[in-house]
Amino acid sequence: MLVGAVFLASCVEMVEALTIVLAVGHTRGWRSAFEGTGAALLVLGALVAAFGPALVHVPLSVLRLIVGAVLLIFGMQWLRKSILRASGLKAKHDEDAVYEESVATLRAAGTSIGRDRIAFVMAFKGVFLEGLEVVILVITLGTSAHQLGLASNVAGIAVVLVGLCGVIVAKQLSSVPENLLKMSVGVLLVTYGTFWTGEGLKVRWPGGDTMLLGLAAIYSVVTYLFVLSMRRETSAQTQGASA
C-alpha cells in the first residue's frame, strides 16, 4: 500500500509538472526548459538529503501524529476535489487546457535574447512546486513506515516513467485518467492519515498494520457513496436550472 500511495501520488504530481515543462519546451525552446527542470530536481534532491535523515531523530509518536495530521488534511483535500470532479460539480483537471494556458502566457511574455529567464523560471517553478508535494509525501510516508529508501526509489521510478511517457505521448497528457488516480491517492492518504494520527495518539489498531486495508475499504465505500449522492445533487441542480 505504501508503494501504491507513493507511486500514484508521484505520477499525478509529475503529470502536472510535465505539462508545464512541455509547454515551455515547445514554446520557448528545450534548453531553458531542461535547465529549469534540472535546477528544480537538484534543489528537491538537496531538500530530501537535508530533511529526510533529520526526521529520523524526531520521536516516532510525535512524527506519526504530525505526519498523520498532514496526510489526513492533504488526503481529504484530494478526495474532496476528486469527488466534486467525478460528480460534475467541478470541472475536470484538463491537461490540454493547462498546456494551452501556459503556452499563451509564455507567448505573451515575448522573445528574449540569450538565456531565456522566463522559460527557466516557469519550468523551475512547475517542477519545484509539484515536486515539493512529492517530496513531502515521500518523506512523511517513508519515515513513518521506516521505509524512506523504498519510498524514494518508488517516487524516482514514477518520475522516470512519467518522463518517458511524456516523451512518447508528447503533449497528449489529457489521456491520463488523472481524476481516478487522484481519488485512489486520496483514499490511501486519508487511510494512512487516520492510521498514523491514531498511532501518534497511542491508539492500538486491531490487527496492527492490517487495519490499513480495513480503513482503505471503509474510505473507498464512503467515497463511492459520496460520488453517488453528489451526482444526484448535480442532476437535481441541472433539472432545477432547466425548469
Partner 1 sequence: MNERPNVVFRLIRGFGQFWWDFLVGDTPELFVAALVIIGVIALLSERGHFNAAAIVVLPVLATLALAGSLVRAVRLSRRK
Residues in touch with partner 1 (CB under 8 A): 65, 69-70, 72-74, 76-77, 79-80, 83-84, 89-90, 129, 132-133, 136, 190, 193-194, 197-198, 201-206, 215, 218-219, 222, 226, 230, 233, 237
Q: Which three cell numbers stand for residue 239?
A: 433539472
Q: How far is the CB of 100 from partner 1 (least distance, A)?
A: 23
DSSP string spanning 51-117?
Answer: HHHHHTTS-HHHHHHHHHHHHHHHHHHHHHHHHHHHTTSS----HHHHHHHHHHHHHHT---SSS-H
Q: What grid cell was written down for 5?
A: 500511495
Q: For partner 1, which is the closer residue by CB, 27 or 197?
A: 197
- Residue 11 CB, shortest distance to partner 1, in Å, is 19
**Shortest Å, Cβ 167 to partner 1:** 29
CA 113 to chain centre: 35
Quick one: CA dihedral 50, 52, 57, 62, positive or negative?
A: positive
E strand segments, the chain: none
Q: Which is nearer to partner 1, 77 or 175 (CB)?
A: 77
Nearest to partner 1 of 23, 216 (CB atom): 216
27 versus 191: smaller Cβ distance to partner 1: 191
In the complex, the smallest distance separating the C-beta of residue 110 from partner 1, rounded to whole angstroms, is 25
- By beta-carbon proximity to partner 1, the closer residue of 163 and 214 is 214
Of 98, 88, 99, 70, nearest in space to 179 by CA: 88
Residue 34 grid coordinates? 531542461
For residue 66, the minimal CB distance to partner 1 (Å) is: 10
Q: Is the Cβ–Cβ distance between 48 and 128 less than 8 Å? A: no
Q: Choose between 170 and 225: whose C-beta lies nearer to partner 1.
A: 225
Half-sphere exposure of 65 (CA within 13 A, CB side): 8
- Shortest distance in whole angstroms from residue 175 CB to partner 1: 27
Residue 88 has φ and ψ, to the nearest 5°, of 85, 5
